[in-house]
Structure 1
C-alpha cells in the first residue's frame, strides 16, 4: 500500500513541477501603454501564456521558458518591454534578483531581467517562495514514507 502511495505522490509532484515550467508573463511595451513602465500597473496589461507564443523563425522548436523585463534608456528617454523570454539564463548565475546591465555610447543604457519563479514574475523584483516550498514538500515526503 505504501508503495502505491509513493507512486501517486511522485506522479503528483512531477505534474506539479511540469506545471511550474508553463509560465505566464506580462506582455507590454511602454511606447504603446504607459502603464507598462515602472511602477508597473497591470490592471490593463494582458498576461500571456508563453506556451501559446508563436515561436522564433530562426530557432524552430525553441519554446519560451522565462519572463523578461527590459528597461532601456536611449537619449534620455526610458522605455520598458515585458514578455516571454526564449534564450538565456534566469537572472545572473540563477539569481533573478539581479539583472544584466549594459551601457553604451550616445547615452544608451539597457537593463535585462529574466525570471521563472512564478507567473507574472516580470512585474517586480520579488522572488517567489515556490522552489523552497517544493523542496520542503519533497523532503517531508521522503522523511514520512522512507
Structure 2
C-alpha cells in the first residue's frame, strides 16, 4: 500500500508536465475528403494524402505575429461556407499561457458562418471523441484502488 501511495501522486504530477515536442494533429477538410466528416473514422481514410496526422511546429506560421513564444495545438472547426457544412481539422497556434479550448477569433467571409471551433493539445485529439490523457491517468490508479 505504501508503494501505491507514492505512485499515485507521482503519476498525477507527471500528467501535468508539458511535452517538449510538437503535437500531431489530424489535417483534413470534409469538402475535399468525405472521411473528414463526423463521425471521424481514421481507419477508413484513403491514401491520397488528404487525411493524415501532421506534426505541428509552434515556430512556423504562428497566427499571433505579436507574440515571441507560442505553442502548437490541434483545431476542429465546423462552419457553413456558401451554404455547405464543412468540417476542417488541422494545426493552429496559441499563446503559451492560453489553456482554454476556445479558438482564436478569425475573420470570416460574407458566405461563412462558424458553428463550432475547439482546440486541444495532445496527439490526434481533433479526431474522434476520446477520454483525455489526463483523465485516463487519474482514473486508472483510482480504479485500481477501488477494485483491489
Query: Contact 1:56–1:62 at 8 Å: present in 2 too?
Result: no
Structure-1 residue corresponding to 2:62: 56
Partners of 2:68 and 2:32 in 1: CA distance: 29
Structure with the higher helix share, 1 or 2:
1
Match of 2:92 among 85, 92, 97: 85
> What is the 5 A alignment of 1:1-146?
13=14, 17-19=17-19, 22-43=22-43, 44=45, 45-51=51-57, 54-56=60-62, 59=65, 62-87=69-94, 89=98, 90-92=100-102, 108-116=113-121, 118-130=122-134, 133=137
Q: Which has the higher contact order (CA 8 A, sep 6+)?
A: 2
Query: Contact 1:28–1:82 at 8 Å: present in 2 too?
Result: yes
Q: Deviation string for 1:92-133 (max 9, x for gaps)?
A: 5xxxxxx89xxxx878343111112x3100013434142663
> Is the alpha carbon distance of 1:125 and 1:20 closer, same or farther for their aligned partners in structure 2, counting shifts above 3 Å?
farther
Structure 1, unaligned runs of 5 or more: 1-8, 93-98, 138-146
Q: TM-score, structure 1 length as denominator?
A: 0.57
Q: TM-score, structure 2 length as denominator?
A: 0.56
Alignment length, in residue pairs? 117
Structure 2, unaligned runs of 5 or more: 1-9, 46-50, 105-109, 142-148
Quote the RMSD (CA, aligned, Å). Answer: 4.0
